[in-house]
Structure 1
C-alpha cells in the first residue's frame, strides 16, 4: 500500500482502474472503518482510504487540536483490510491560500447536528465534495453511525450530479453496545462501559415499539427513563424522525423511521442512531 499526499500522484495511481472504492476518514481508524475498507475491497478493483482531519467541520471550542491521530497505525489497519492507497493530504493542499468556497446546506443539514453544531455540515459537505472530485470513485463508503451526515452527503451527490454511488454501511458496536468512534479513545475503560447507555436507551424505545407503542412521545420517554440513570450525561437531543429527518408524532409504518440521539458524557460528545424497527427497511 502506498502513502500519497499529492492529488496529482493520486490520480496517476488510479489511471486504468475498472472501479475505485473510496473510504474517507479523519484517521485514528477502528473496526468500523475496517469494515468499510473490507467492503470496498470486495466491490472494487482499487481502494483508496483518505486520512484528513478537516478543520472546516470543527466549531469554536471543539476538539480539533486534541482529535486523536496515529498515521502509522492507520496505514497498518488500512493495508490489512484491503486498501491500496492511503491519501493523506495536508491542510494547505485541501485549502490553499485564498480558498473561500463553502457549501451551504438546507434540507437534511438543518436540525439535530446542524442546529447543535452550526457550520459543521457545511464543512463536511465541502471536504467530501473536494475529496470526491479528487478521487473520482465508483463508490464511496460511509458508516450509518453518522446517519444525518450520510443523508447530507447523499443530497450533495444528488444536487451536484456526481457520478458516484454512496454506500451506507451498518454501525459497528463494542460488545457493550457502544457505537465505535475515534472519540471513544477519550474514555477510561469504566467510562466506555457507561457510555453504552445511549444504545441501551435506543434499544428500550425499540422494544417499546415492538410491544405495540406507536406514540413518539411515549417511545422517547421510555428512552429518557434509561438515560436518567446516568448522572454524568447531558442530553443534547433525542428524536424519532422519518426518512427526511423530520420528527414523527405517530408511527403509521416503521419503514424509514429512525431514533437519533446526541449527548455529552464525561466531556465527550457522542451521537448514535438506530432504526425504530430492526425488521423494517430504511
Structure 2
C-alpha cells in the first residue's frame, strides 16, 4: 500500500514574474477538516489488509468502495476486528508510528486458562525473538457476544478455552499471538476491539462507518527528534569541586586517580 503523498510547501520564485503570469506554483493546501476521511471497518476473517491481490484472495476492495483511502496500520489475514482507513497521511502516521504508542485493545480466545503468574508475565513484558515486549494490560474476561467465525475455531474437547482482554502500545508482527504462545496458551481467535478511543461497537463483519468530522482525532505535528547528548571529556580542575558540589574524582574510587587535587600534592613526610 502506498502512503499518502506528503503536503508540499510553496517556494517563492527568485525570478520576476512575466506580466499576466505567476511563476509561483500553487502548493497543495492543507487538508480541511471537512475533506479528511476516517473510516472504521470491521475486517472479516481471512481478508487481506490491502486493496489488490494477484492470487485473487479477498481484500479490502471487496468491502470498501471509498476512493483514495489507505489502511492506517495492519491486521493479520487470520485476525478480525477494527481497522482504520483514512485519506490523511498525517493522521495515518499518528495512528501507526511506534513512537506514538497508540493503545490497541484485543479480545483473544486462547487455549487453556492462564494462571495469574502467566498474566503477570504479559503485564511485565515477555522476551520474544525480536526483543522484550513493553508492559501490557492483560486480564481474563467474560466471553464476549460476538459474531460466529466462519469457519469456526477447532476446540479440543479435553482442553478448555477462555477469553483475554490484552491492551498493547506496540505493533509488531503477530505480536499478541506470540505473546500468548510464550506463556503456553496459543491464540485460537483474535479480534481487535479498539484503537485508542475508537471501538468496534455497532459494526458487523465487513461493515464500515465513516466518522463525522467532529469525531476524527486531530493530527498532531510530528515530534521533533531528540538530540543525542554530547559527550565532552571531563577536565581536571585544581580549584576544587564545581558549584554543583560534585567532586571530579567520585568515579575513580578511593585510589585518587584522576583527582582534581593532583596538582596540589602533599609533601612527603620526613621519617
Q: Indicate the structure (1 or 2) with the bigger Cα radius of gyration.
A: 2
Higher RCO (C-alpha 8 Å, min separation 6): 2
Short-chain TM bin: under 0.3
**The structure with more helix, counted as a fraction of residues:** 1
TM-score scaled to structure 1, two decimals? 0.22
